[in-house]
Amino acid sequence: MSDMIRVVTCLLSVSVFLGAQSWMDQAKTIQNQVHQLRSLPDDERAKVTKQLAMQIRQLPSAAPKAGLADELANLATEGDFGRDTLQAVTTTLAQALAEQPGGPDSYLALARLARYEHMQISLDNPQLKTAMAQLEDDDRARQRADFTLTDLSGKNWNLKNLSGKIVLVNFWATWCPPCRKEMPDLDTLYQRFKERGLVVLAISDEDAGTVKPFIADHHVGYPVLLDPGRKVNDLFRVQGIPKSFLYDRKGNLVAQAIDMRTQAQFLEMLRHAGLN
């Protein structure tokens, strides 16, 4: 090999290395910003979330775009940051998976955005179809689900015995920031609609010693049930929290939330059960 060829090869190698280092730095910066989203006010968080979605798209295909978009998607559903923002995140995740296949969780995240947030996606592949089929099966299981749990005052609650009521089953935990954030709005709606038949059953898999002082400090009025063995969590196929499932007076599952909801979003759910 001539000296000139060696020099050119060396320069090309350096160029490739510097290029890779550049997008790796960009990806790390984006990831750090994603991890800081919860610290931002909601209006600023919406703007930054959309910007991050666009920045992820601009990374080269060799970058971990699907992983970054998946992380962003999991945070973009914590409340209401605007449908344009959520669609931007959805499109970014779909494009990333089209460029480079991801793991099952990434396809489930995209499927949830399509099924529960009603986002538009153009990706068509077997992994996504499998994820959509899993969500359909999960919903059938939640429709069949029944349980009896005890609340903090010792009262037993059975889901199927609440026929004639509108029941919102909410899975949460004291350590979960978005769970804590939605609780005041959920309690406000419970106080507003309980005389019209709304029952809120908030289910935690923690023990009474953890939950009781938290509820006392936060003055929550709706029933809080304990599921320390996670049998009901598993019955509803709950992995991340918060999750909410709404049943109408006939016991039909009519709406659900895959993450934290604002008061306006909870109201939209309740309209599906005839409350407004």
In this prediction, residue 12 carries a pLDDT of 43
In this prediction, residue 276 carries a pLDDT of 87
CA separation, residue 81 to residues 37, 44, 271 (Å): 12, 9, 21
d(CA 200, CA 222): 6
d(CA 19, CA 242): 40
| Sign of the Cα pseudo-torsion (71, 73, 76, 79, in order) | negative
Cβ–Cβ contacts within 10 Å for residue 117, how many?
18
Per-block average pLDDT, block size 10, for the chain (276 residues)? Answer: 51 43 86 96 96 96 92 96 97 95 94 96 94 97 97 97 97 97 97 97 97 95 96 96 98 97 97 94
Taken in order of first residue, the domains within the chain and their CATH numbers are 3-121+128-140 (no CATH), 145-271 (3.40.30.10)
In this prediction, residue 6 carries a pLDDT of 54
What's at 83, amino acid-wise? R
**Cβ 136 vs Cβ 145: under 8 Å:** no
In this prediction, residue 85 carries a pLDDT of 97
